[in-house]
Structure 1
Amino acid sequence: MRLRVLVAGLVPAVLLTVAGCGSQATEKTKDAQGRELDKVTLTLNWYPYGEHAPFYYGKKQGIFARRGIDLTIRPGQGSQKTIQATASGQTDFGWADTPALLAGVSQGLEVKSLGVFLQTTPSSVQFFDDKNIKSPADLKGKSIASTAGDALSKTFPAFLKANGLGPGDVTLQNTDPAGKMAAVISGKTDALLGFATDQGPTMQEKSGKHVSYLRFADYGLSFYSNGLLTSTGTVADKKDLVKRMVEATSESWAAAEKDPGAAVGAMAGASQQLPSEKVLTEQFGATLKLLHTDATKNRPPGVNSEADWAKTIATFAQAGVITKVEPPATYWDASFAPKG
């Protein structure tokens, strides 16, 4: 079964163009101690939720500032748009899903991964317990909310195939990302495609009903997920800034892992759409389980394995998300890996 590559137009993200990308000079500022800092923008994959706690914690604790970075964190509108914004210089760095990065590079977008942090995918089918779904076989005949063209919708047919099902065994109801939860809560669909670190805890809190998951990684389909990226121009022209950004990000994730309560607390006021502290805590707790594979255990967050990259690339070549297998270096610059 092959998935059709959706070659999306470069839809402008709702972002402000900033200085500091590619070969442009980086804008400078000073902190309260008079230290000169580089102004840097990071655009997330979505509106802030628990997964993003380390960035807010690292900023609050001065981890980025100690490496000469004045960090501005911006909400995103999906990994695809974040990657487009990064490639076009609308943001210095992005935080996005690896399948979307693979597809973007295959379409000619000049971006590079600087390291994947969520090394086991949180992709999942999510549903209330009363739907009596215990295994992928129970999805037959069910309706599932999805968003056409996103990484999950491209991956789902491969998940079905891995579990002896075909696209005709389920009904996908196309909706915008924000509408998927409403479709499940209202009963319009039986389930949704989403990250187990995102929608499920919110649905559970809003409905008062327990949410369960079929995680892709538990049923034969594991691959790299969210990580840090930048444009190839920034890699070429601002190696020192890239190195400092990767080091600060890795340190922030390590610090947040040691004190998850404080990390979640650092997100206060991050967004008008911010979930409750209870949901953020559950989201971040689920995220921390995804930081390593067997090949990267006991390594700093963001250190990747070339073999894991190759496995992810092969998975999406087989699924048709990319047209051919390329070496990991096509998508990932290993030279900035944090040393710990």
Structure 2
Amino acid sequence: MRKRALAICVAAVLLLATACGGGSEKTTGADGKQLDKVTLMLNWYPYGEHAPFYYGKAKGIYAKHGIDLTIQAGQGSQKTVQATGAAQVDFGWADTPALLAAVGQGMKVKSVGVFLQTTPSSVQFFAEKNIKTPADLKGKKIASTAGDALSKTFPALLKAVGLSDSDVSLQNTDAAGKMAAVLSGQTDALLGYATDQGPTIQEKAGKPVSYLRYADLGLNFYSNGLLASERVLSEKKELTQRMVTASSEAWTAASADQPGAVDAMTGASEQLPSKAVLTEQFAKTLELLHTDLTQGKAPGVNTAADWQKTIDVFATAGIIQKPQAPSAYWDAAFEVKG
């Protein structure tokens, strides 16, 4: 009885250690290789931007680095950052502004590499609206979601192009409502990501969508990237490095095989956009991988200077109240070399 009780006690301790991040669950690959089970939570339901993760899994890139990857849909960057910071998932894929805000609130989470280094933030509208320059936005009604990064930085965009807040009218709605407002003609435009809503409403309406991109108008900042809790970063350093390296390789490979990357998403979600929309979403995503400082570098390579620019933008916009050094938000130790 004493031996049995001791065995139960030891098993309980081992189970607790695993639950607290002391180890990774293992699986066996097709070649007999031991793999670490890893969960990645996306920022939203799967769409074209996420193709490299599915491609990397399908082509065995993650398995090559000893990772059995499970990709999980998200419900917004804020929730993904929260789940990742609480170590409910191993890694997250989320928008940098949500990460900055979370760290400012004391959450123990950091980026291990932003991949979308040019923001997809844009004003989107049907081409028939004949909006060619920022000045053409005067008097227009624009759908937005109060409190998100797009709406909070929009005043800075207006200022950069010589307009004032009173020159446009913002209509507050949720993410899905923005597309409905433009499709129904209730608004002239919406604030959204060129990698997401634009291709979708273009297909639904059967007419072309045009964009005024924040970055093209002089306001750029970091967007989506990989992140992990500080607990994962400290307790699973070697696994984290493998995840960053594998993800960079997956993005490089997917960039060279865009049709294959889109095909790899088949069956990823019941809400998955059409193949045509996925193709355009992914093509637009690939335009966002670098800044002037990272041209020619591998996907996911960041610089402290670009981080500082992003921090400055969101400090000015009021998204972060007490801006800190880049190292408070980004752990450069895991950056892929290249």
Give the TM bin, normalised by the shorter chain. Answer: over 0.9
Deviations 1:169-210 (CA, angstroms, capped at 9, x unpaired): 222222221221111101111111111111111111110111
Change in Cα spacing, 1:66 to 1:21, as seen in structure 2 (3 Å) is farther
Q: Distance in 2 between matches of 1:22 and 1:42?
A: 18
Q: Give 1:15's aligned residue.
A: none
Is the 1:21–1:233 contact (alpha carbons within 8 Å) kept by the matching residues of 2? no
| 1:11-50 pair list within 5 angstroms | 23-50=21-48
The structural deviation recorded for 1:30 is 1.5
Deviations 1:259-295 (CA, angstroms, capped at 9, x unpaired): 1110111001111111111111111111111111111
SS at match of 1:285: helix
TM-score normalized by structure 2? 0.92
1:301 partner letter = P
Q: Give 1:115's aligned residue.
A: 113
| 1:1-340 pair list within 5 angstroms | 23-340=21-338
Q: Distance in 2 between matches of 1:74 and 1:20?
A: 21
1:126 partner letter = Q
Unaligned ranges ≥5, structure 1: 1-18
Q: Distance in 2 between matches of 1:21 and 1:174?
A: 41
Q: Distance in 2 between matches of 1:273 and 1:290?
A: 24
Q: Give 2:13's aligned residue.
A: none
Q: Distance in 1 between matches of 2:113 and 2:275?
A: 28
SS at match of 1:153: helix
CA RMSD of aligned residues (A): 1.4
SS at match of 1:252: helix
Q: Give 2:8's aligned residue.
A: none
Change in Cα spacing, 1:21 to 1:100, as seen in structure 2 (3 Å) is farther
Is the 2:114–2:302 contact (alpha carbons within 8 Å) kept by the matching residues of 1? yes
Structure (1/2) with the larger helix percentage: 2
TM-score normalized by structure 1? 0.91
Q: Distance in 2 between matches of 1:150 and 1:234?
A: 27
- Percent of aligned pairs with the same amino acid: 70
Unaligned ranges ≥5, structure 2: 1-16
Is the 1:45–1:78 contact (alpha carbons within 8 Å) kept by the matching residues of 2? yes
1:57 partner letter = Y
Is the 1:21–1:90 contact (alpha carbons within 8 Å) kept by the matching residues of 2? no
Is the 1:20–1:40 contact (alpha carbons within 8 Å) kept by the matching residues of 2? no
SS at match of 1:124: strand
Q: Distance in 2 between matches of 1:160 and 1:82?
A: 30
Q: Distance in 2 between matches of 1:159 and 1:99?
A: 16
2:165 partner letter = P
Is the 1:22–1:234 contact (alpha carbons within 8 Å) kept by the matching residues of 2? no
Is the 1:127–1:190 contact (alpha carbons within 8 Å) kept by the matching residues of 2? yes
Q: Distance in 1 between matches of 2:189 and 2:19?
A: 40
Once the two structures are overlaid, the 10-residue window that deviates more, 229-238 or 125-134, is: 125-134
Q: Distance in 2 between matches of 1:22 and 1:232?
A: 13
Change in Cα spacing, 1:21 to 1:218, as seen in structure 2 (3 Å) is farther
Is the 1:21–1:92 contact (alpha carbons within 8 Å) kept by the matching residues of 2? no
SS at match of 1:102: helix
Query: What is the total number of aligned residue pairs between the two structures?
Result: 322
Q: Distance in 1 between matches of 2:19 and 2:271?
A: 28
- Of the two, which has the highest radius of gyration? 2
Q: Distance in 2 between matches of 1:20 and 1:76?
A: 24
Is the 2:262–2:279 contact (alpha carbons within 8 Å) kept by the matching residues of 1? yes
Q: Distance in 2 between matches of 1:71 and 1:137?
A: 47
